[in-house]
Structure 1
Amino acid sequence: MPSNSATGAFPATRSTAAILAVVVLVAVNLRLALSSLPAVTTLIQDETGWNDAFIGALTTVPVLGMGVFALGVPRLAGRIGRRSAVSLALVAMAAGLTLRLAGAVAVTLLLSAMLAGLSIAILGGLVPGIVRERLSHSMGLATSLWTAAMMGGAALGAALTLPLSDLTGGWNRALAFWALPAVAAVAAWLWLEREEPAQVATVTIVRLRDLPWRDSTAWALTAFMSVNSVVFYSMLAWTAPSYAERGYTPETAGLFFGIFTGSGIIAALTLPAWSHRTQRRRTLFATTVVGCSASLVAIALVPTFAPLLILVALSFTLSGGFAMSLGLLSEYAADAAGSARLTAMAFTITYTSAAFSPFVIGAIMDAVDSWTLVFSLLAGVTLLQLPAVFFLHRGRVVH
């Protein structure tokens, strides 16, 4: 009887429900490391005296890792197998988060951030492909759960880290607490694959020279995703600190941050399906861009006006635009290999360019100390997606 593991699939005895449950647990961990730290930024700076540029770098490092490591993930999977690579990534995630117990040492937090970036690159690059093979009959449900679980994990880290710091007696303990879900994911993943030994997976090795560098549609999609991610990771790093510095308590700022990270779940679950059905898809994309920019203008000029409503609108439009763009990575590809090449190009450029935005925002704040300027700049940057939207036609195939 042929083995499923040759393609990185799970033992056939595992039920769909069991696989979905483990996939959800893995997905929850993909944003916890990123969203938990900004929630206690104020506490960290009060204790350590680190400037805004360094605090921004703590978000820059893992996002940069997501971009830099993206091309190497298929090669790692080809060498040790996809399931083993996922196990390695989850262990690295748990180890990196545990290192935050010594978070008052700058190099320790940077190392933790590097491990998070490596882990997220591996998990984000491999798990969806495994799920597509093993759960092809439930792909829509699996994709929705994967997306919702990622955003739910981000919301948990954003909303609960500050209360955990009060409960555990320190921000470093609160940050390290999130190693527990990663440990649980390691155990669940090993249980899922234990009936068969991991073998070398059949994967598409992606090389830089093979990417669709000369395709205008590929560049348009990459540009849209890149600008969207610049804004998202800027907000991920600085939403809570900005509201705390504008007169809100750290607890309220943390609540706002949790609302921002969690509200995108609804958009991620609804807008891609709408985008697939509507004949005015580019109009829908453009609407998310304009809505996002308008929300940022409101945050810049009137931060005390209906902040929860504004943050929900920002999250809905920002996350919805990105979720719709993810669907185009498959739609614009002729086959699985083409999808892998387009995805590698988009993710490498998107995350590498977006990585520097939290650091740049921190440097701007160190120089001019004006959140009004920062959010006004982000509102303007958001509108740079509009030219790219014009090229996102239906029926295009990237070569």
Structure 2
Amino acid sequence: MSTQFKKQGSILILFTIFALSINLRPAITSIGPMLETIREQLSLTNVHVSLLTAIPVFCMGVFASLAPIFNRQLGLKRTMYIMLILIGVMTALRGVVSGFPILIGTAFIIGISIAVIGPLLSAMIKQHFPDRAASVIGVYSFGMGVGSAASAGLTGLFYETTGSYFFALSIWSVLVIIGLVSWFFMMRDNIEVRQTAPKVVQAKARGKSPWKTRKAWLFLLFFGLQSSLFFSIITWLAPIASSAGMTLLQAGTLLSVMTTVQIFLNILLPLMMEKYPARKFWINLMLASGLLATILFWTGFHPLMWVGAVIMGIPLGGLFPVALLLPLDETDNADETNSWTAMMQTGGFIMAGILPLLIAFIFDRTSNHTYTFIILITMYLVMFALTVKISDKKGSF
């Protein structure tokens, strides 16, 4: 950890990373429990309503490359303030103005804001915690897990209590206040993510440009598939549970159980991987767990679905931090990490926007979730094959 960060105190820094990261998922994951409600009240197709999660994920991919540009032009401090405020205002707007166009518009701007914040947080961790990256990534992913779990589990409850999906979606804007206050106290010393001058960056790119590196493309594909799995499951588990005969509250609770397990493993698994850095062992364990959980969901038998929700927390809790650690292991400095992470998230999140939308498209035409499960299982199998190509942290296979 840098001297500057030591002065501020590690607890404040770690809490700030947590406070920022809890804001990166609720605007997306709160849609899942409300998917059927929004579709029915606004007379939409499944494809239309799925755009509310697909569009921000697309934006997270398309606009991830803006992160280093914003950092150079505005600096880390102002960039984070702007992006956090945009997330808060757009989320709150969902409770003030109704209609599908406003939901789509807010999803677009929220997606851009998340796209910029993500790579900068990874670069900041690489720069200031080079020897504890796995642990701090655990805090980062733990924060996102808390945001996901809270929004997935409580959005349905807020709707049942108030009868308003506007309120259930917009209430998550309050989390931005925590992020802004924490960022204010941490940034009193104007900490920045260092970036090399453009000419140096170009020279470095010729040596280790992620766009010209085979391993970076493997990381992109891996990240894209794990993100696709996450957003597909978060978006479609509640509708799947409802189609299996569960009530809206039961389906929301099922989602909450899964995400609760996820948030604990978000921080536990990275700590375990730091102590036992055999990347492929952990990846295979997570993928096998996810495959088993998917099969249990497919049975439609409620007791097995509850077991599946617990088991599915393993890949949801571990695959994201693993994916974030891959470029941190491979790169030498914060600037390279920023570039590799931005590239990985650019292609990865575009993939993650397409596949859940594909599920919606097929379900609209078949009214059968069998194809949903076939798509999920196929993604797991492809990730098993990818794992063979990705080396462990120490460079061994």
CA distance in 1, matches of 2:216, 2:134: 24
Residue 199 of structure 1 and its aligned partner are, at CA, apart by 8.9
Counterpart AA for 1:18: L
Greater Cα offset, 159-168 or 136-145? 136-145
Structure 1 364/140 Cα, relative in aligned 2: closer, same or farther at 3 Å?
Answer: closer
Structure 1 329/132 Cα, relative in aligned 2: closer, same or farther at 3 Å?
Answer: closer
* Alignment correspondent of 2:363: 365
Residue 254 of structure 1 and its aligned partner are, at CA, apart by 0.6
Greater Cα offset, 134-143 or 184-193? 134-143
Among 176, 182, 195, the alignment partner of 1:203 is: 195
Matched, 1:178 2:169: no
* Alignment correspondent of 2:57: 63
Counterpart AA for 2:91: L
CA distance in 1, matches of 2:227, 2:192: 33
What's the TM-score once normalised by structure 1's chain length?
Answer: 0.87
Greater Cα offset, 344-353 or 52-61? 344-353
* Alignment correspondent of 1:3: none
CA distance in 1, matches of 2:260, 2:227: 16
- Matched position secondary structure for 1:383: helix
* Alignment correspondent of 1:230: 228
* Alignment correspondent of 1:350: 348
* Alignment correspondent of 1:28: 22
Unmatched tracts of structure 2, length 5 or more = none
Residue 183 of structure 1 and its aligned partner are, at CA, apart by 2.9
Counterpart AA for 1:177: I
Let me know the Cα RMSD of the aligned residues: 2.8
Residue 109 of structure 1 and its aligned partner are, at CA, apart by 0.2
Among 105, 112, 115, the alignment partner of 2:109 is: 115
Unmatched tracts of structure 1, length 5 or more = 1-6
Percent identical pairs in the alignment equals: 22
Greater Cα offset, 201-210 or 99-108? 201-210
Greater Cα offset, 225-234 or 152-161? 225-234
Counterpart AA for 1:114: F
CA distance in 1, matches of 2:180, 2:282: 39
CA distance in 1, matches of 2:91, 2:158: 15
The 5 A counterparts of 1:96-115 are: 96-102=90-96, 104-115=98-109
Q: Deviations over 1:305-349 (max 9, x none)?
A: 422211121220243233223222111224433333322221111
Matched, 1:187 2:181: yes
Among 240, 260, 263, the alignment partner of 2:261 is: 263
Among 38, 44, 48, the alignment partner of 2:32 is: 38
What's the TM-score once normalised by structure 2's chain length?
Answer: 0.88
* Alignment correspondent of 1:144: 138
* Alignment correspondent of 2:118: 124
CA distance in 2, matches of 1:223, 1:137: 26
CA distance in 1, matches of 2:45, 2:339: 39
* Alignment correspondent of 2:289: 291
Residue 17 of structure 1 and its aligned partner are, at CA, apart by 2.6
Among 147, 156, 159, the alignment partner of 1:162 is: 156
Q: Deviations over 1:72-92 (max 9, x none)?
A: 111011101101100001100
| Count, aligned residues | 388
Q: Is the 8 A contact 1:293 1:380 kept in 2?
A: no
* Alignment correspondent of 1:78: 72
Q: Deviations over 1:228-257 (max 9, x none)?
A: 221111111111122122211100101111
Q: Is the 8 A contact 2:265 2:314 kept in 1?
A: yes
* Alignment correspondent of 2:382: 384
Counterpart AA for 2:161: L
CA distance in 1, matches of 2:68, 2:377: 36
